[in-house]
């Protein structure tokens, strides 16, 4: 990948608001981190150059997957890994939500309002996201952290 290509791709990237990771961390791995990140989201990061879909996942994972048709692949890996928390759009009716959240996750926290994501320069988006978001816990510990967090929303224990 050349520099121009990587810069163009990074303009489409929307990062997790840092207060969410600060509240729920620490995490051991972010398997899909930006090439230039304004802050750490985990102890270890994979970027597109590492391909986090193919690299080994270890420890407690923070997952805010790329918003494209590959998103379900990341959620399938999380379902198999069973250790960590994901931030995704609350598309509760979809086939992929049924496959990778309902009947799989330990708990979910539906966020109040809509999030303002951040750019790779660390700037908050001027507009909120086009859909509501949900945090998904893939272990008992992650569900407890969601339940006990100060993040505004509605927690639902699933297992
Ligand atoms: C929605 S952003 C989330 C970034 C970060 N995880 C966070 O929570 O702020 C998704 C990121 O995945 C990266 N990405 C896309 N495909 C990837 C791949 N195959 N391996 C690793 N990272 C990838 C993109 O560059 C982008 O930075």
Report pLDDT digits (tens) over 25-78: 999 999 999 999 999 999 999 999 999 999 999 999 999 999 888 899 999 999
Beta bridge partners of 118: 15, 124
Tokens of 80: 């198999």
Task: Report, as an integer, the average pLDDT of 84-108.
Answer: 97
CB distance 63 to ligand 1 below 6 Å: no
Give the distance (Å) from ligand 1 centre to CA of residue 34: 5
Residue 86: is its pLDDT beyond 60? yes
- C-alpha distances (whole Å) from 123 to each of 68, 81, 126, 145, 157 are 22, 31, 9, 27, 33
CB distance 85 to ligand 1 below 6 Å: no
What confidence score (pLDDT) does residue 42 get? 98
CB distance 110 to ligand 1 below 6 Å: no
Query: Which protein residue has the closest C-alpha to ligand 1 atom 26?
Result: 34
Say how far apart CA 20 and CA 11 lie, in whole Å.
21
Residue for token digits 């978001």?
Answer: 133
Task: Report, as an integer, the average pLDDT of 129-157.
Answer: 98
């Amino acid at each position: 990948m050349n520099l121009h290509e990587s810069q163009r791709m990074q303009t489409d990237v929307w990062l997790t608001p840092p207060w969410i990771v600060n509240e729920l961390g620490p995490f051991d791995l972010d398997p899909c981190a930006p090439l230039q990140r304004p802050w750490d989201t985990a102890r270890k990061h994979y970027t597109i150059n590492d391909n986090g879909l193919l690299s080994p996942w270890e420890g407690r994972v923070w997952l805010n997957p790329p918003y494209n048709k590959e998103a379900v692949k990341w959620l399938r890996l999380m379902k198999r890994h069973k250790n960590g928390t994901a931030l995704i759009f609350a598309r509760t009716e979809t086939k992929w939500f049924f496959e990778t959240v309902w009947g799989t996750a330990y708990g979910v926290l539906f966020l109040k309002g809509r999030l303002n994501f951040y750019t790779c320069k660390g700037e908050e988006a001027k507009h909120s996201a086009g859909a509501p978001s949900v945090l998904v816990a893939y272990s008992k510990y992650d569900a407890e952290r969601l339940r006990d967090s100060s993040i505004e929303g509605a927690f639902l224990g699933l297992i």
